[in-house]
Amino acid sequence: MLSHLSDLIVAANVGIMLFFSVAVAPTIFVVLPQEWASAYVRSFFPKYYLFLGLTTAAATAIAATPLLQIGLAICAILFFFSRFWLTARVNRARDDKQAGVFKMLHFLSVALNMLQLVFFIWVLVITVRAA
């Protein structure tokens, strides 16, 4: 029963991640002036990573198998890494006008986010097949 709750948490996280990636992110920089868009993104991402890290940690605790627990724990750790280490360095590189460093760190944050999303979708596919 609790493992189903873990799957629901993972599904909700997929929805959050897809909605932000497909609807919110592309719109922010088109609709808002650059300085407002940057301020919004700086305020949003720490909350985004923290929320996803906490919910993924909760899903980890109640996941059905040790393999899923390990994978979800890695995802939670990566969300916390992004929240507490990576985001600050992305912002610092932007502030210091270090375009190359910013581009590399931003790419890393996007790549980690996409890997986590792919893993979450894989979790949902295998749990549906197992049901």
Half-sphere exposure of 33 (CA within 13 A, CB side): 2
- 3 pLDDT band, cuts 50/70/90, is confident
* Tens-place pLDDT, residues 65-97: 999 999 999 999 999 999 999 999 999 999 999
Tell me the pLDDT tens digit for each residue of 14-30.
Answer: 999 999 999 999 999 89
Q: Are the CB atoms for 72 and 63 separated by under 8 Å? A: yes
The per-residue pLDDT for range 23-68, each reduced to its tens digit, is 999 999 899 999 999 999 999 999 999 999 999 999 999 998 999 9
Sign of CA dihedral 56, 62, 63, 69: positive
